A and B are shown apart, each in its own frame.
Chain A
Amino acid sequence: SQQGEEDPQALSIQEGENATMNCSYKTSINNLQWYRQNSGRGLVHLILIRSNEREKHSGRLRVTLDTSKKSSSLLITASRAADTASYFCATDRPPGGNNRLAFGKGNQVVVIP
């Protein structure tokens, strides 16, 4: 069954603005990951946050995890035109390490130069 489910947003923002997208899931997780997909291409891993972490940063990315609410958010700061893509959250259930991820439906982000 599908675990991650993003708010089915299509964001359109100006270059330099911040983009925030959310993800909710239904059962307990080992970790939650975010991936980016350019139109019709493969997915690229962005960031992973473990169930015992609450916030993580990687460059312009900030991800939060609230296990009590079973939700996560991804923030992209100072967006660039190259950030235009679809963003998916994916969950890995306990005990983890098997990499059988459940993906959400994705958020489409358009950054206008």
Chain B
Amino acid sequence: AGVTQTPRYLIKTRGQQVTLRCSSQSGHNTVSWYQQALGQGPQFIFQYYREEENGRGNFPPRFSGLQFPNYSSELNVNALELDDSALYLCASSPGQGNTGELFFGEGSRLTVL
């Protein structure tokens, strides 16, 4: 099975909190999260490898994450701001035998009002 993300669409208001979920592709132990604003390329948020954060982009601490023993992952965003409206993409990759490519889910479209 490929990478699956839930929910696909959601609407929140400023100040609220949101949790996005991702199931990695079978056999992949590394999950990365990206934020893609409308008309822009994806921006790296952070990566998890074997349940530990393994690199972080230029995002504030209110963006946090988790990875579970089955390698699925969550992205949490607190105190939502209007600029957090974006497509949030999860991508998985194998830790070993890594060919370099990422396998993306369909994304979660977050709208903050």
B-binding residues in A (CB < 8 A): 1-2, 4, 30-31, 33, 35, 40-45, 48, 88, 90, 92, 96-106
A103-B41, A104-B41 in contact; A41/B47 too (CB < 8 A)? no
Task: Flag if B100 contacts A2 (CB, 8 Å).
Answer: no
- Beta-carbon nearest neighbor of A108 in chain B: B39
Task: Flag if A4 contacts B41 (CB, 8 Å).
Answer: yes
Of B47, B100, B106, the residue contacting A42 (CB under 8 A) is B106
**With contacts defined as CB atoms under 8 Å apart, how many contacts are there between chain A and chain B in the complex?**
70
A4-B41, A100-B55, A104-B41 in contact; A43/B98 too (CB < 8 A)? no
Residue among A35, A88, A99, A101 facing the most chain B CB atoms (10 A cut-off): A99
Measured CA separation A43–B42 after assembly (Å): 10
Task: Flag if A41 contacts B100 (CB, 8 Å).
Answer: no
Contact with A along B84-113 (1 / 0, CB 8 A): 000101010100001111111111010000
Measured CA separation A97–B101 after assembly (Å): 9
B67 within 8 A of A: no
B64 within 8 A of A: no
A100-B47, A105-B40, A106-B41 in contact; A45/B101 too (CB < 8 A)? yes
Task: Flag if A99 contacts B93 (CB, 8 Å).
Answer: yes
Task: Flag if B104 contacts A101 (CB, 8 Å).
Answer: no
Measured CA separation A92–B43 after assembly (Å): 13
